[in-house]
A and B are shown apart, each in its own frame.
Chain A
Amino acid sequence: MIEIRNINKSFGQRHVLKDISINFERGKTNLIIGESGSGKTVLIKTMVGLITPESGEVIYDGRNFLLMSEKERKDIRKEIGMLFQGGALFDSQTVEENVMFPLMMFTDMSLEERRERANFCLQKVNLPNAHKLYPSEISGGMKKRVAIARAIALNPKYLFCDEPNSGLDPHTSILIDELISEITHEFNMTTIVITHDMNSVLEIGEHVFFIYKGENVWKGSKEDILHPEDKRLRDFVYASKFLQRLLAGQ
């Protein structure tokens, strides 16, 4: 479980995160939704320590991340897997080397064992035949899957996904969503997904948090989100004209 308490972050005069407190449950896919520029990525980067907030607490299963020494943070980061918007695969390494990279850095596994683990992770994300390809030789959807394989290579307790569906076609988006949901339940991870894709919300959103202009203004489940009382959330959920017509037809 990850708890964040009263997180505040400003960039110059811009107050990006305003006193945000959320509990993210273990074994669930926790979704953070909101418009572009609402502070979702800043929030997730604050949680993993890439951005330091002005105030607040980030607690990983009772351990306060922001009060930790650099060494303690380093240890906890080995329990974190992260999927970046663009995949963030290392261009100079093959798919297999990308997945083996964290194993090479943090375990004493032999090359054979590392290969075996990378193979397992790549099969998990349905990429059994891409080992020797470079990131520049694979599609956007494949990059995302390789990034997921790399993120789960060390068996993390916490998985962060920053807009895993951006730039993907609807079919691949659903595959990625299902994959994230599947590994979350299989490995009992605390998974946090940032998205503004309503399909993802309705597909895998067990716990959904709506961020509006840096504030957490709503929380609920994928079932609740279709009938929101909050106007800001309703405008977000029913932003598409198609859905607006559907809603009016009801």
Chain B
Amino acid sequence: MNIFYHIGRYALLISQSFSKPEKGRVFRNQLFAEMESLGIGSLGIVSIISLFMGAVITIQSAFGFESPWIPLYAVGVATRDSIILEFSPTIVSLILAGKVGSSIASEIGTMRVTEQIDALEIMGINSKNHLILPKLLAAVLINPLLIIVSMFLGMTGGFVAGVFTKAVTAHEYIYGIQYQFKAFNISYALVKTIVFAFIITSVSSYHGYYTEGGALEVGKSSTRAVVYSSLVILLFNVLITQILLA
């Protein structure tokens, strides 16, 4: 019963956040501010993780493919597919669920417990629309760009590590990256990214918006936001993969 209560309340909250903003200019400013905060603010961590993960995937693939029957360029193929299909869209989204999700839940949660949301409501402002919609749209717009950067840097990290450790030659790696490339995989990754971006912001906003109590509860909401958005991402990862790739 409890889970249906939360799903219903979550659906209501998100549907109510999709209404016409009070002032277009204010909304636009908020949207750009959120894009900067959620996107540019996450660029550093996404870049570092992508570079190192790309490097590790390449080294591990080269280690696993030590066989005369497997061509060296397979290292490039494995790195490319691992990064495009799973690492960048899913793992980076899980990382963003930790960084962005906790930040959204604690920001909205703090506004709730300090009566800032009540103040918005009393002014006649739809607080759900004012607080949640810019974050949702910003994440849906900016996360695909982050993921594309992550893909590029992941493969770059793989190239540097592969060539530097002499696990693979530059030519073989680049040939592998291009070998039987399917553009659809990028579309699949971007669809996942957009869905995950929506999950991260909406689930975190839900936990923040319904925070009750004080500072301790804000912390708990923040933790719940990360846990539940990660779980929902994992669930939807399986569903989308089954729908698009099966």
Mutual binders A and B: yes
Interface residues on A, range: 20 to 34
Asked if B23 is at the interface (CB within 8 A of a chain A CB), the reply is: yes
Q: List 19 additional contacts besides A48-B122, A74-B124, A84-B119; criterion CB under 8 Å.
A: A50-B121, A77-B124, A78-B124, A80-B122, A84-B115, A84-B118, A86-B114, A86-B115, A88-B115, A88-B119, A91-B110, A91-B111, A91-B114, A101-B123, A102-B123, A104-B26, A105-B22, A106-B22, A106-B124
CB neighbours (8 Å) of A73 from chain B are 124
CB neighbours (8 Å) of B26 from chain A are 104-105
Instruction: From the candidates B22, B114, B119, B125, name the one contacting A82 in the complex (CB within 8 A).
Output: B119
Contact across chains for B123 and A85 when beta carbons are under 8 A apart: no
B35 to chain A, nearest CB (A): 16
Asked if A186 is at the interface (CB within 8 A of a chain B CB), the reply is: no
Residues B79-120 near A (CB distance < 8 A): 110-111, 114-116, 118-119
A231 to chain B, nearest CB (A): 34
| 19 A-B pairs with C-beta separation under 8 A | A49-B122, A73-B124, A77-B122, A77-B123, A78-B123, A78-B124, A80-B122, A82-B119, A85-B115, A86-B114, A88-B114, A88-B116, A89-B116, A91-B110, A101-B123, A104-B23, A104-B26, A105-B22, A106-B123
Contact across chains for B23 and A50 when beta carbons are under 8 A apart: no
Interface residues on B, range: 10 to 19
CA distance A85 to B116 in the complex (A): 11
Residue of A nearest to B122 (CB): A82
CB neighbours (8 Å) of B111 from chain A are 90-91
- Chain A-chain B contacts (Cβ-Cβ < 8 Å), number: 50
CB neighbours (8 Å) of A91 from chain B are 110-111, 114, 116
Q: Given that A86-B115, A88-B115, A90-B116 are contacting pairs, would A50 and B22 also be in contact in the complex, using a CB cutoff of 8 Å? A: no
CA distance A49 to B118 in the complex (A): 10
CA distance A85 to B115 in the complex (A): 9
CB neighbours (8 Å) of B121 from chain A are 49-50, 77
Please encode chain A, from 70 to 104, with 1 for each CB lying within 8 Å of some chain B CB and 0 for all others. Answer: 00011101101010111011110000000001101
Contact across chains for B115 and A105 when beta carbons are under 8 A apart: no
CB neighbours (8 Å) of A45 from chain B are 118
Q: Given that A82-B119, A84-B118 are contacting pairs, would A105 and B125 also be in contact in the complex, using a CB cutoff of 8 Å? A: yes
CB neighbours (8 Å) of A104 from chain B are 23, 26
Please encode chain B, from 53 to 71, with 1 for each CB lying within 8 Å of some chain A CB and 0 for all others. Answer: 0000000000000000000
CB neighbours (8 Å) of A78 from chain B are 123-124
CA distance A90 to B131 in the complex (A): 12
CB neighbours (8 Å) of B115 from chain A are 84-86, 88
A217 to chain B, nearest CB (A): 28
Residues B167-189 near A (CB distance < 8 A): none
